[in-house]
């Protein structure tokens, strides 16, 4: 995530207000009934935003690890491929 929890590709912000709007519009999309959605929506902004930041940080860490693994795998395969081409039978 980037500043203010704005996704780089979409420009869509995720904050307490947008989360509440999602809960009002489609609680069933999250497996919630209207009463459960209302309870979550009633949480303080600070608590909702804190969890958004925490989970965004976890996602960022996951994608950094994923990207590193992907790059190392490609580099390793490229090295193996170039070495294999140099070996004469």
SS (H, E, C) 46-68: HHHHHHHHHHHHHHHHHHHHHHH
Containing structural domain, residue 64: 3-86
Q: 87 vs 40, which has greater pLDDT?
A: 40
pTM here?
A: 0.63
- What pLDDT digit, counting tens, does each position of 34-67 carry? 999 999 999 999 999 999 999 999 999 999 999 9
User: Domain count of the chain?
Assistant: 1
Using alpha carbons only, give the angle 43, 22, 32 rounded to the nearest 5 degrees. 70
């Amino acid at each position: 995530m980037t500043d203010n929890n704005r996704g780089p590709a979409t420009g869509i912000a995720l904050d307490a207000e947008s989360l509440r709007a999602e809960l009002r519009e489609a609680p069933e999309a999250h497996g919630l009934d209207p009463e459960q959605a209302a309870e979550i929506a009633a949480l303080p902004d600070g608590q909702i935003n804190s969890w958004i930041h925490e989970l965004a940080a976890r996602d960022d860490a996951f994608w950094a690890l994923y990207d590193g693994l992907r790059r190392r795998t490609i580099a390793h395969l490229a090295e193996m491929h170039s070495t294999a081409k140099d070996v004469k039978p």
